[in-house]
Structure 1
Amino acid sequence: MNPRTKPAALGTTLVVGGCGFVGYHLVQQLLLDEECDDVYVLDRNVDRNLHDKALYVRGDVTDSETLRALVAKIQPRTVFHAASPIASLPARKYAEFVETNVEGTRALLAIATDSSAVKAFIYTSTIDVYANPPHTHVKESHPLWPHSNTSNEYNRTKSIADCLVRSANGPRLRTVSLRLGHAYGERQSQGLSEVLDMCSGNRMLIQIGRGDNLVEVVSAGNAATAHILAAKALLDPDRAVGDVDGEAFNISDGAAVPFWHHVRVIWTVARGEDAIRDVTVLPAWIMMAAVLVVEWLLWITTLDTVKPPTVLRRTSLEYCIYSHTYSIEKARERLRFRPFVDHDAVLAHATRWMLDYQKSEDQLKKE
């Protein structure tokens, strides 16, 4: 434990899902924070995204027995819950959404509430919990997806978890839900691998729609900073301006970017400036028609037991042609959140990192 003259504000921390993309960056910042003692990570895959000074435990958020024993042993003051399946899971694995996002969150909240040590609980939510896009400058009061809505299992179960976390707030355990924009940065896979697949080899580069629709993004570094600010505000309300516990906060760079600009930054790194000058722009109605046809065919032929591929899902269509923007004024005011913005440089670095990683993985397969 780090020597100091007074107790650390964050104390011992537990990051559930700390080997994931956002979790990796959160653990990195916690290890550098002088107000943090030991950093424990619980993840079902502790063979990736590791830091030398963090302490790793293999386990799953759905395993209540392991969780309870770990919390009793390490006595964390702060718990970060960043575990979730990726949004693009195939339909055959949809049960994981309920198991992790709903049942796992419920179990972790119960264990944290029962522990005399745990004082703060920070949940990694998402802007995808907001119902009925497109969205323009949406605030935290906007309706979430109803829990009965089955159109998108990721969005529905994240909405349920978001509500569970905020409802669990009380005198014994202070909670907060952080609704992240679409995260990007080094070690990103989801959202980056798919775009790289679209431009691999000599594939035609295709843009859907005019390309002026905006998307709310957050660098992994900014996301990690917001988590730590929220934790410190829960533990010491004097650090906040107004209420934080039991609240939700939109978290992003505070600078929405055109969706297709984001994509083109990735394409430029992967294929070069010359290659992306020849991008084919298709009218939005073509993808709208394709999505509807595929949805109906699968509904008729499989009784909705098989879902369309990611690129032909309604969610993909909405991000390709509609804007999704969200206000972070609440986080700026109450958490004193001041995001650092260098979108193109951070995304280009993340793309180069992923290309190098993919190359090394391919080389290992050949050996």
Structure 2
Amino acid sequence: MILVVGGAGYIGSHLVKELVEKEEVLILDNLTTGHVEAIDSRAVFVEGDLGNEEDLDPIFSKYPIKAVMHFAAFSLVGESVQDPYKYYENNVANTLTLLKVMLKHKVKNFIFSSTAATYGIPEEEIILENSITSPINPYGKSKLIVEQILTDFHQAYGLNYVVLRYFNAAGAHISGEIGENHDPETHLIPLILQHLLGERDSISVFGTDYPTADGTCIRDYIHVTDLAEAHIQALEALLDGRKEAETYNLGNGLGYSVKEVIETCEKVTERKANVVLAERRAGDPARLVASSDKIFNELGWKAVRNLEEIIGSAWEWHKKGE
């Protein structure tokens, strides 16, 4: 059985939907940001907190858990700057509690959902796994601290892990049953689609004078189902002993500009956006794109769904509430 912590959240629920086809799945989620309706009925669900040993111990005692996949982090950059305690407590301290209970019960396979925010503002056009990690906010720092903990735990306790770093998960499941549902919403694609559904008056573009082809920032977007498939391939590599301690980037390797994303949303929805040009935001680099060559070469994974497919799936899901 695989324990998915945060399996009622956006990325976690999409992972579970794919994983239940191959493994028995147990979800642990405290539903702080997750949604009951996103829980796959084929999985066992336990409401509880990864930072509470009294919630964790009975789970590990009752179920034959062979690996843990961790998606239960807070991930809003702005909020992490305003309330760093919240981020270090949940993302670091609570993860330590989870790892402690795992080791107590001799569960030594761990998949960690990390972030390319660990790189901060990279100097390279394409970010590699060995690029300098210098996060510029508590969210990115909290993820990097856990990565460093995993390195130490592997050496000291034999904990095997795969860290997966990625930027912008987007899109919805092809079934239309689950999609991106954050409150507050901060991600570009759902913000545009909410605007095109009439839920927002406009969409803001922060900066049009960047050194890119159209002057707007370029970011790496990846379909959430592509992400789920990468996590499963990483899990299989741990379980069959091909990998013991590894870090991979997950990205499309190309990047799309803010203008390209808006135009593609307009094309898919056949609706016109009201775009408001605004000043640059502090700390926004011109380009953030990750190379996934390493995971392709070692595990055979690559992102296969393009921007139009990402937006099309998200649009079908968002329209359900229209």
Q: Would the aligned equivalents of 2:122 and 2:131 in 1 still touch at CA under 8 Å? A: no
Q: Determine the structure 2 residue equivalent to 1:155.
A: 140
Instruction: Verify the 8 A CA contact 1:134 1:323 in the aligned structure 2.
Output: no
Q: Return 5+ residue gaps in structure 1 as ranges.
A: 1-11, 239-243, 292-313, 360-367
- Among the aligned pairs, what percent are the same residue? 24
CA distance in 2: counterparts of 1:205 and 1:107, whole angstroms: 41
Q: Which residue does 1:54 correspond to in 2?
A: 43
Quote the offset at 1:28 in angstroms. Answer: 0.8
User: For the structure 1 residues 227 and 112, does the alpha-carbon distance in structure 2 shift closer, same or farther, using more than 3 Å as the test?
Assistant: same
Residue 262 of structure 1, CA deviation: 2.0
TM-score by length of 1: 0.73
Residue from 105, 125, 143 that aligns with 1:115: 105
| TM-score calculated relative to the size of structure 2 | 0.83
Q: How many residues align?
A: 299
Alpha carbons 1:18, 1:27 under 8 Å: kept: yes
d(CA) in 2 for partners of 1:85 and 1:127?
15
Cα distance in 1 for residues equivalent to 2:236 and 2:263: 37
More helix as a share of residues: 1
* SS of alignment partner, residue 7 of structure 2: coil
What is the CA–CA distance in structure 2 between the aligned matches of 1:164 and 1:267, rounded to whole Å?
A: 44
2:316 corresponds to which of 332, 335, 352: 352
Match of 2:255 in 1: 256
Render the CA deviation track for 1:162-211: whole Å, top value 9, x for unaligned: 22223322564211110023100111135144444566468455543134
RMSD: 2.6
Q: In structure 2, how many angstroms separate the alpha carbons of the residues matched to 1:64 and 1:163?
A: 22
Structure 1 Cα separation of the partners of residues 315 and 251 of structure 2? 20
- Quote the offset at 1:95 in angstroms: 2.7
Q: Say which of 145, 149, 164 aligns to 1:164.
A: 149
Q: Which has the higher mean CA deviation after the structures are superposed, 75-84 or 183-192?
A: 183-192
Alignment of 1:131-210 (within 5 A): 131-133=120-122, 135-145=124-134, 151-170=136-155, 172-186=158-172, 187-189=179-181, 190=185, 191=187, 192-196=189-193, 200=198, 203-207=201-205, 208-209=207-208, 210=214
Q: Secondary structure at the match of 2:126?
A: strand
Contact 1:185 1:347 in 2 (8 A): yes
Provide structure 2 residue ranges, at least 5 long, that are not aligned to the other structure.
173-178, 209-213
- Measure how far apart 1:75 and its partner are: 2.5
Residues of 2 paired with 1:205 and 1:63: CA distance?
40
| Partner secondary structure for residue 42 of structure 1 | strand
Aligned equivalents of 2:50 and 2:122: distance in 1?
Answer: 30
What amino acid does structure 2 have at the position aligned with 1:214? I
Determine the C-alpha separation between the residues in 2 that align with 1:86 and 1:341: 24
In the alignment, structure 1 residue 67 sits paired with structure 2 residue 52: no
Residue 220 (1) aligns with residue 221 (2): no
